[in-house]
Amino acid sequence: MKDKFSFDDSINRRVVPALKTHPKILKDSSKNLFAAGVADMDFRVSPVILSALQKRLDHGVFGYEMLADGLLPALIQWLHHHHKWVVKKEHILRSPNILNALAIAASLFTEPGDGVIVQPPVFFDFFDILRENNRNLITNPLILRDGCYYIDFDDLEQKAAVPSTKMIYLCNPHNPVGRVWTEQELQQLGDICAKHNVLVVSDEMHGDLAFRGHTYIPFASMGEKYDANCITCLSPAKTFNIASCCCAFTVISDDNKRKAFQVENSRLTVNKNNAFANVAMEAAYKDGEEWLKEALFYLEKNVNLTREYLKDIRGVTLIEPQGTFLLWVDFRELGFSTSDLTTFLRNQAKWAVTRGEAFGEEGAGFMRVNIACTHATLESALDRLKNAMNRLYSR
Protein backbone atom coordinates (compact mmCIF):
# COMPACT_ATOMS: atom_id res chain seq x y z
CA MET A 1 0.00 0.00 0.00
CA LYS A 2 1.29 3.47 -0.85
CA ASP A 3 2.61 5.41 2.13
CA LYS A 4 0.01 7.92 3.36
CA PHE A 5 2.46 10.80 3.31
CA SER A 6 4.38 9.70 0.22
CA PHE A 7 7.72 9.19 1.92
CA ASP A 8 8.51 6.70 -0.85
CA ASP A 9 8.08 9.33 -3.58
CA SER A 10 11.32 10.08 -5.38
CA ILE A 11 11.51 13.86 -5.72
CA ASN A 12 14.10 15.44 -7.99
CA ARG A 13 15.71 18.08 -5.81
CA ARG A 14 18.02 19.19 -8.60
CA VAL A 15 15.23 21.19 -10.27
CA VAL A 16 15.53 23.73 -7.42
CA PRO A 17 18.81 25.10 -6.01
CA ALA A 18 18.85 22.60 -3.14
CA LEU A 19 22.07 22.80 -1.15
CA LYS A 20 22.29 19.02 -0.82
CA THR A 21 22.41 18.40 -4.58
CA HIS A 22 23.94 21.66 -5.81
CA PRO A 23 27.07 21.35 -8.00
CA LYS A 24 28.89 23.80 -5.73
CA ILE A 25 28.45 21.31 -2.90
CA LEU A 26 28.81 18.03 -4.74
CA LYS A 27 31.61 19.29 -7.03
CA ASP A 28 30.16 16.87 -9.53
CA SER A 29 27.14 17.10 -11.81
CA SER A 30 26.63 13.34 -11.68
CA LYS A 31 23.09 12.32 -10.78
CA ASN A 32 24.40 8.98 -9.56
CA LEU A 33 25.82 10.29 -6.30
CA PHE A 34 24.12 9.40 -3.03
CA ALA A 35 23.75 13.00 -1.81
CA ALA A 36 23.69 12.48 1.95
CA GLY A 37 25.85 15.28 3.27
CA VAL A 38 23.51 18.19 3.99
CA ALA A 39 21.17 17.72 6.95
CA ASP A 40 17.69 18.00 5.51
CA MET A 41 15.10 15.46 4.38
CA ASP A 42 14.18 14.41 0.86
CA PHE A 43 10.56 14.05 1.99
CA ARG A 44 7.70 16.26 0.85
CA VAL A 45 6.45 18.28 3.80
CA SER A 46 3.17 17.60 5.53
CA PRO A 47 0.04 18.36 3.49
CA VAL A 48 -1.15 20.66 6.28
CA ILE A 49 1.89 22.89 5.70
CA LEU A 50 1.42 22.87 1.93
CA SER A 51 -2.26 23.73 2.33
CA ALA A 52 -1.55 26.59 4.72
CA LEU A 53 1.14 28.01 2.44
CA GLN A 54 -1.15 27.74 -0.59
CA LYS A 55 -3.92 29.57 1.26
CA ARG A 56 -1.50 32.35 2.18
CA LEU A 57 -0.21 32.47 -1.41
CA ASP A 58 -3.74 32.78 -2.76
CA HIS A 59 -4.25 35.89 -0.65
CA GLY A 60 -1.87 37.59 -3.06
CA VAL A 61 -0.62 40.47 -0.89
CA PHE A 62 2.78 40.12 0.74
CA GLY A 63 3.38 43.41 2.50
CA TYR A 64 4.90 43.88 5.95
CA GLU A 65 3.34 41.73 8.65
CA MET A 66 3.23 41.43 12.40
CA LEU A 67 3.95 38.14 14.11
CA ALA A 68 1.05 35.76 13.54
CA ASP A 69 -1.20 35.64 16.61
CA GLY A 70 -1.35 31.87 16.65
CA LEU A 71 2.33 31.03 16.20
CA LEU A 72 3.75 31.36 19.70
CA PRO A 73 0.71 29.72 21.36
CA ALA A 74 1.12 26.80 18.91
CA LEU A 75 4.80 26.49 19.81
CA ILE A 76 4.05 26.67 23.54
CA GLN A 77 1.37 23.99 23.25
CA TRP A 78 3.72 21.77 21.22
CA LEU A 79 6.49 22.01 23.83
CA HIS A 80 4.07 21.30 26.66
CA HIS A 81 2.25 18.42 24.95
CA HIS A 82 5.29 16.68 23.49
CA HIS A 83 8.05 17.49 25.97
CA LYS A 84 6.32 18.46 29.24
CA TRP A 85 8.02 21.84 29.11
CA VAL A 86 5.99 24.83 30.28
CA VAL A 87 7.27 27.95 28.52
CA LYS A 88 5.97 31.48 29.04
CA LYS A 89 5.17 33.45 25.91
CA GLU A 90 7.20 36.44 27.09
CA HIS A 91 10.31 34.27 27.36
CA ILE A 92 10.35 33.50 23.61
CA LEU A 93 12.30 35.60 21.11
CA ARG A 94 12.64 35.19 17.36
CA SER A 95 15.90 34.64 15.46
CA PRO A 96 16.55 34.14 11.74
CA ASN A 97 18.15 30.78 12.53
CA ILE A 98 19.79 28.87 15.36
CA LEU A 99 23.32 29.71 14.27
CA ASN A 100 22.44 33.39 14.49
CA ALA A 101 21.20 32.85 18.05
CA LEU A 102 24.37 30.96 19.00
CA ALA A 103 26.54 33.75 17.63
CA ILE A 104 24.57 36.46 19.41
CA ALA A 105 24.80 34.55 22.70
CA ALA A 106 28.58 34.31 22.40
CA SER A 107 28.84 37.98 21.48
CA LEU A 108 26.64 39.16 24.35
CA PHE A 109 27.75 36.96 27.22
CA THR A 110 31.44 36.39 26.57
CA GLU A 111 34.35 38.61 25.63
CA PRO A 112 37.04 38.06 22.98
CA GLY A 113 39.46 35.52 24.40
CA ASP A 114 36.93 33.97 26.79
CA GLY A 115 36.56 30.20 26.67
CA VAL A 116 33.52 28.47 25.22
CA ILE A 117 33.25 24.69 25.61
CA VAL A 118 32.17 22.42 22.78
CA GLN A 119 31.89 18.63 22.85
CA PRO A 120 33.38 17.10 19.71
CA PRO A 121 32.71 15.38 17.49
CA VAL A 122 30.04 18.08 17.15
CA PHE A 123 28.32 20.24 14.54
CA PHE A 124 31.09 22.02 12.68
CA ASP A 125 29.44 25.46 12.66
CA PHE A 126 30.02 25.66 16.42
CA PHE A 127 33.74 25.91 15.68
CA ASP A 128 33.29 28.51 12.96
CA ILE A 129 31.10 30.77 15.09
CA LEU A 130 33.57 30.83 17.95
CA ARG A 131 36.66 31.34 15.79
CA GLU A 132 35.03 34.11 13.79
CA ASN A 133 34.05 35.85 17.03
CA ASN A 134 37.55 35.49 18.51
CA ARG A 135 36.45 33.24 21.35
CA ASN A 136 38.73 30.59 22.80
CA LEU A 137 37.52 27.16 21.69
CA ILE A 138 37.66 24.72 24.61
CA THR A 139 37.06 21.08 23.72
CA ASN A 140 35.46 18.55 26.03
CA PRO A 141 35.61 15.51 23.72
CA LEU A 142 32.93 12.87 24.06
CA ILE A 143 34.05 9.38 25.04
CA LEU A 144 33.21 6.49 22.72
CA ARG A 145 32.71 3.39 24.84
CA ASP A 146 31.13 0.10 23.73
CA GLY A 147 29.60 1.70 20.67
CA CYS A 148 28.01 4.67 22.48
CA TYR A 149 29.17 8.20 23.21
CA TYR A 150 29.26 9.66 26.71
CA ILE A 151 30.17 13.02 28.25
CA ASP A 152 33.56 13.15 29.98
CA PHE A 153 32.40 14.86 33.17
CA ASP A 154 35.80 14.88 34.87
CA ASP A 155 37.28 16.76 31.93
CA LEU A 156 34.24 19.04 31.80
CA GLU A 157 34.63 19.92 35.47
CA GLN A 158 38.30 20.80 35.01
CA LYS A 159 37.65 23.03 32.01
CA ALA A 160 34.54 24.69 33.42
CA ALA A 161 36.53 25.59 36.55
CA VAL A 162 38.95 27.78 34.59
CA PRO A 163 37.87 31.39 35.33
CA SER A 164 38.02 32.45 31.68
CA THR A 165 35.55 29.74 30.63
CA LYS A 166 32.17 31.45 30.38
CA MET A 167 29.90 29.34 28.18
CA ILE A 168 29.19 25.90 26.76
CA TYR A 169 27.46 25.05 23.51
CA LEU A 170 25.36 21.99 24.26
CA CYS A 171 23.98 19.93 21.37
CA ASN A 172 20.83 18.20 22.64
CA PRO A 173 20.20 15.76 20.94
CA HIS A 174 23.72 15.52 19.64
CA ASN A 175 24.71 16.05 16.00
CA PRO A 176 26.43 13.98 14.60
CA VAL A 177 26.67 11.06 17.05
CA GLY A 178 22.93 10.66 17.56
CA ARG A 179 22.88 10.70 21.37
CA VAL A 180 19.70 11.75 23.11
CA TRP A 181 21.06 12.87 26.45
CA THR A 182 19.38 11.48 29.57
CA GLU A 183 18.04 13.64 32.37
CA GLN A 184 20.84 12.43 34.66
CA GLU A 185 23.48 13.43 32.12
CA LEU A 186 21.91 16.84 31.55
CA GLN A 187 21.60 17.49 35.26
CA GLN A 188 25.23 16.56 35.88
CA LEU A 189 26.34 18.88 33.10
CA GLY A 190 24.02 21.61 34.40
CA ASP A 191 25.29 21.26 37.97
CA ILE A 192 28.90 21.61 36.85
CA CYS A 193 28.11 24.66 34.74
CA ALA A 194 26.06 26.36 37.46
CA LYS A 195 28.81 25.72 40.01
CA HIS A 196 31.38 27.48 37.83
CA ASN A 197 29.15 30.20 36.32
CA VAL A 198 29.29 28.73 32.83
CA LEU A 199 26.24 29.64 30.77
CA VAL A 200 24.59 26.77 28.90
CA VAL A 201 23.55 27.65 25.34
CA SER A 202 21.63 24.63 24.13
CA ASP A 203 21.04 23.87 20.45
CA GLU A 204 17.92 21.68 20.54
CA MET A 205 17.04 21.70 16.85
CA HIS A 206 16.82 17.89 16.67
CA GLY A 207 14.72 17.58 19.84
CA ASP A 208 11.58 16.26 18.15
CA LEU A 209 13.52 13.51 16.39
CA ALA A 210 14.12 11.04 19.21
CA PHE A 211 13.55 7.37 18.41
CA ARG A 212 11.37 5.00 20.41
CA GLY A 213 12.92 4.10 23.74
CA HIS A 214 14.63 7.48 24.06
CA THR A 215 13.19 10.72 25.41
CA TYR A 216 14.40 14.19 24.48
CA ILE A 217 14.50 16.40 27.57
CA PRO A 218 14.77 20.16 27.05
CA PHE A 219 17.62 21.30 29.26
CA ALA A 220 15.63 24.22 30.65
CA SER A 221 12.65 22.00 31.51
CA MET A 222 14.47 20.28 34.39
CA GLY A 223 13.81 23.02 36.92
CA GLU A 224 14.48 26.64 37.82
CA LYS A 225 18.16 26.07 38.57
CA TYR A 226 18.79 24.86 35.03
CA ASP A 227 16.32 27.19 33.32
CA ALA A 228 17.94 30.27 34.88
CA ASN A 229 21.38 29.34 33.49
CA CYS A 230 20.29 28.46 29.97
CA ILE A 231 19.52 29.91 26.58
CA THR A 232 17.59 27.39 24.51
CA CYS A 233 17.67 27.55 20.72
CA LEU A 234 14.75 25.91 18.88
CA SER A 235 13.56 25.57 15.32
CA PRO A 236 11.10 23.37 13.41
CA ALA A 237 13.53 23.26 10.47
CA LYS A 238 14.68 19.66 10.98
CA THR A 239 11.46 18.34 12.48
CA PHE A 240 9.23 19.31 9.58
CA ASN A 241 11.80 19.70 6.78
CA ILE A 242 11.17 23.42 6.32
CA ALA A 243 14.71 24.75 6.69
CA SER A 244 14.37 27.18 3.78
CA CYS A 245 11.05 28.66 4.93
CA CYS A 246 11.18 28.98 8.69
CA CYS A 247 13.12 30.73 11.42
CA ALA A 248 14.21 29.97 14.96
CA PHE A 249 13.30 30.79 18.54
CA THR A 250 15.30 31.43 21.67
CA VAL A 251 13.78 30.71 25.05
CA ILE A 252 15.36 32.80 27.82
CA SER A 253 13.77 32.97 31.27
CA ASP A 254 16.40 35.23 32.83
CA ASP A 255 15.11 38.79 32.46
CA ASN A 256 18.48 40.48 32.05
CA LYS A 257 19.75 38.04 29.46
CA ARG A 258 16.49 38.18 27.53
CA LYS A 259 16.47 41.98 27.50
CA ALA A 260 20.07 41.99 26.27
CA PHE A 261 19.06 39.60 23.49
CA GLN A 262 16.11 41.83 22.56
CA VAL A 263 18.35 44.88 22.32
CA GLU A 264 20.86 43.01 20.17
CA ASN A 265 18.14 41.63 17.90
CA SER A 266 16.93 45.18 17.39
CA ARG A 267 20.43 46.56 16.83
CA LEU A 268 21.09 43.93 14.17
CA THR A 269 17.54 44.27 12.78
CA VAL A 270 17.02 40.51 12.86
CA ASN A 271 13.59 40.77 14.48
CA LYS A 272 11.48 41.04 11.32
CA ASN A 273 8.73 38.65 10.23
CA ASN A 274 8.36 36.52 7.11
CA ALA A 275 4.81 35.68 6.09
CA PHE A 276 5.60 32.24 4.73
CA ALA A 277 7.79 31.28 7.69
CA ASN A 278 5.00 32.24 10.07
CA VAL A 279 2.41 30.22 8.17
CA ALA A 280 4.60 27.13 7.75
CA MET A 281 5.63 27.03 11.40
CA GLU A 282 2.15 27.62 12.80
CA ALA A 283 0.67 24.88 10.62
CA ALA A 284 3.46 22.51 11.59
CA TYR A 285 3.09 23.03 15.33
CA LYS A 286 -0.72 22.96 15.23
CA ASP A 287 -1.36 20.04 12.88
CA GLY A 288 1.97 18.37 12.02
CA GLU A 289 2.00 15.65 14.68
CA GLU A 290 0.65 12.83 12.51
CA TRP A 291 3.17 13.52 9.74
CA LEU A 292 6.03 13.59 12.24
CA LYS A 293 5.02 10.25 13.76
CA GLU A 294 5.00 8.64 10.33
CA ALA A 295 8.30 10.29 9.39
CA LEU A 296 9.96 8.94 12.53
CA PHE A 297 8.60 5.47 11.82
CA TYR A 298 9.98 5.67 8.29
CA LEU A 299 13.37 6.88 9.54
CA GLU A 300 13.59 4.04 12.03
CA LYS A 301 13.01 1.59 9.19
CA ASN A 302 15.91 3.25 7.38
CA VAL A 303 18.07 2.80 10.47
CA ASN A 304 17.10 -0.87 10.57
CA LEU A 305 17.94 -1.26 6.88
CA THR A 306 21.35 0.33 7.38
CA ARG A 307 22.07 -1.77 10.44
CA GLU A 308 21.29 -5.00 8.58
CA TYR A 309 23.56 -4.06 5.67
CA LEU A 310 26.46 -2.94 7.80
CA LYS A 311 26.40 -6.13 9.88
CA ASP A 312 27.60 -7.93 6.77
CA ILE A 313 30.26 -5.39 5.77
CA ARG A 314 33.57 -6.03 7.49
CA GLY A 315 35.35 -2.94 8.75
CA VAL A 316 32.31 -0.64 8.81
CA THR A 317 30.41 -0.09 12.06
CA LEU A 318 27.21 1.80 12.80
CA ILE A 319 27.17 3.90 15.95
CA GLU A 320 23.67 3.07 17.13
CA PRO A 321 21.54 6.23 16.88
CA GLN A 322 19.05 7.30 19.54
CA GLY A 323 17.65 10.14 17.45
CA THR A 324 18.07 12.49 14.45
CA PHE A 325 18.15 11.36 10.82
CA LEU A 326 21.95 11.50 10.74
CA LEU A 327 23.97 8.32 11.17
CA TRP A 328 27.53 8.28 12.49
CA VAL A 329 29.42 5.48 10.75
CA ASP A 330 32.84 4.21 11.81
CA PHE A 331 35.24 3.35 8.95
CA ARG A 332 38.44 3.49 11.04
CA GLU A 333 39.14 -0.22 10.74
CA LEU A 334 39.79 0.24 7.01
CA GLY A 335 42.91 2.26 7.79
CA PHE A 336 42.27 4.99 5.23
CA SER A 337 43.43 8.56 5.73
CA THR A 338 40.59 11.09 5.86
CA SER A 339 41.11 12.19 2.27
CA ASP A 340 41.52 8.63 0.99
CA LEU A 341 38.34 7.53 2.74
CA THR A 342 36.40 10.41 1.19
CA THR A 343 37.81 9.57 -2.24
CA PHE A 344 37.07 5.86 -1.84
CA LEU A 345 33.46 6.42 -0.86
CA ARG A 346 32.88 8.98 -3.56
CA ASN A 347 34.54 7.15 -6.44
CA GLN A 348 33.81 3.54 -5.54
CA ALA A 349 30.45 3.73 -3.72
CA LYS A 350 29.22 7.03 -5.21
CA TRP A 351 28.60 8.38 -1.71
CA ALA A 352 28.69 12.14 -1.12
CA VAL A 353 28.60 12.29 2.68
CA THR A 354 30.17 14.49 5.36
CA ARG A 355 33.68 13.55 6.49
CA GLY A 356 33.90 12.99 10.20
CA GLU A 357 36.93 15.21 10.66
CA ALA A 358 34.71 18.22 9.89
CA PHE A 359 33.22 17.70 13.36
CA GLY A 360 36.61 17.86 15.05
CA GLU A 361 39.72 15.72 14.99
CA GLU A 362 37.83 13.17 17.09
CA GLY A 363 35.74 12.42 14.01
CA ALA A 364 38.63 11.24 11.83
CA GLY A 365 37.75 7.91 10.25
CA PHE A 366 34.01 8.44 10.62
CA MET A 367 31.38 9.69 8.20
CA ARG A 368 28.05 11.39 8.86
CA VAL A 369 25.34 9.94 6.63
CA ASN A 370 21.89 11.46 6.14
CA ILE A 371 19.28 8.70 5.82
CA ALA A 372 16.22 10.95 5.41
CA CYS A 373 15.61 9.60 1.92
CA THR A 374 13.46 6.93 0.32
CA HIS A 375 14.02 3.30 1.23
CA ALA A 376 14.88 2.65 -2.41
CA THR A 377 17.51 5.39 -2.48
CA LEU A 378 19.11 4.15 0.72
CA GLU A 379 19.05 0.50 -0.33
CA SER A 380 20.71 1.37 -3.63
CA ALA A 381 23.40 3.36 -1.80
CA LEU A 382 24.02 0.52 0.64
CA ASP A 383 24.28 -1.94 -2.23
CA ARG A 384 26.93 0.26 -3.82
CA LEU A 385 28.85 0.45 -0.54
CA LYS A 386 28.69 -3.32 -0.13
CA ASN A 387 29.94 -3.87 -3.68
CA ALA A 388 32.73 -1.32 -3.23
CA MET A 389 33.86 -3.06 -0.05
CA ASN A 390 33.75 -6.46 -1.75
CA ARG A 391 35.99 -5.11 -4.52
CA LEU A 392 38.34 -3.62 -1.94
CA TYR A 393 38.72 -6.89 -0.06
CA SER A 394 39.03 -8.93 -3.23
CA ARG A 395 42.17 -6.94 -4.05
pLDDT of 2 reads 47
pLDDT digits (tens, 9 = 90+) for 165-189: 999 999 999 999 999 999 999 999 9
Extract the residue ranges of the chain whose pLDDT is less than 50. Answer: 1-2
Q: Which CATH superfamily is domain 13-46+289-394 in?
A: Aspartate Aminotransferase, domain 1 (3.90.1150.10)
CB of 231 within 8 A of CB of 265? no
Q: Is 316:369 a contact under the CB 8 Å cutoff?
A: no
Nearest one of 160, 187, 159 to 172, comparing CA atoms: 187
**Residue extents of the structural domains in the chain:** 13-46+289-394, 50-286
pLDDT at 30: 67
Beta carbons of 52 and 280 less than 8 angstroms apart: yes
How far apart, in whole angstroms, are the C-alpha atoms of residue 19 and residue 10?
17
Q: From CA 340, how far away is CA 337, in angstroms rounded?
A: 5
Report DSSP letters for 147-158, one per residue. Answer: TEEE--HHHHHH
Distance, in Å, from the CA atom of 350 to the CA atom of 214, rounded to the nearest integer, reads: 33
The CATH number of the domain covering residues in 50-286: 3.40.640.10
